[in-house]
Chains A and B, each alone.
Chain A
């Protein structure tokens, strides 16, 4: 069984640009979660998508947005990038009735 896959692995952007990160959940998982892990810090909840809809979002500005496609894959978009957006962005997926996440390997976003 393929795990949660994220792309790209690394992404370097200039301040003010937009970044798009992608996530493919485990087959059969309908929920996708996005977390930000800044260097040396814990995981901060960004967004939760289920069945194509945004179910909940964390305490992040509106320039962090995303969507979930009919095949349950998801995109995270970060507009007007700031230096402090540099972090590891982790995607996770879960089954509807299973509360344990399976995380992807992450996308390391560097804003210069």
Chain B
């Protein structure tokens, strides 16, 4: 089955710096890659996603890149702010589920120091 590895497990940056979180997946048939943000005690929320026919997608300070050949994708957050502090999960769609069911990475705890 699909396996998603996520690095680093923790990341501490200074406010205003950039943060990068990387994920690799195992099944080349995966074709949908969302990122979720989970603040302490709250539910995960979708922040950005990318499909396999696109190499990069941006939304304000957040961008995601996908390298299908290498089977890895990354989340880039620029000009980090204290409210970006949270756990971030990457995910990859399980094949044969029409992008519906997901396998999640183990999460990255991002701490933005003011």
Measuring CB to CB, which residues of chain A are less than 8 angstroms from any residue of chain B? 31, 33, 35, 41-45, 48, 50, 55-56, 58-59, 90, 94, 99-106
Distance in Å: Cβ of B96 to nearest Cβ of chain A:
8
Sample of 5 further A-B pairs with CB below 8 A, known A99-B34, A100-B46: A42-B104, A43-B104, A55-B101, A99-B93, A105-B42
6 contacts between A and B (CB under 8 A): A33-B101, A33-B102, A41-B106, A41-B107, A56-B97, A101-B44
Inter-chain contact total with CB atoms closer than 8 Å? 63
Q: Closest approach, in angstroms, between the C-beta of B3 and any C-beta of chain A?
A: 11
Distance of A104 Cα from B44 Cα, bound (Å):
8
Which single residue of chain B is at the shortest CB-CB distance from A101? B46
A99 & B32 in contact (Cβ 8 Å cutoff): yes
- Minimal beta-carbon separation of B40 from chain A (angstroms): 13
A99 touching B99 by the CB < 8 A rule? Answer: yes
Q: A94 and B100 in contact (CB under 8 A), knowing A59-B1, A99-B34?
A: yes
Complex partner residue of B44 from A44, A48, A58, A103, CB under 8 angstroms: A103
CA distance A96 to B103 in the complex (A): 19
Residues of B within 8 Å of A55, CB to CB, are 97, 100-101
Name the B residues within 8 Å of A99 (CB-CB): 32, 34, 49, 93, 99-100
Closest Cβ of chain A to B36, distance in Å, is: 8
Inter-subunit contact B32/A42 (CB<8 Å): no
For B6, give the chain A residue with the smallest CB separation. Answer: A42
Q: Contacts of B97 on A, CB cut-off 8 Å?
A: 48, 55-56
A9-B43 Cα distance, complex, nearest whole Å: 13
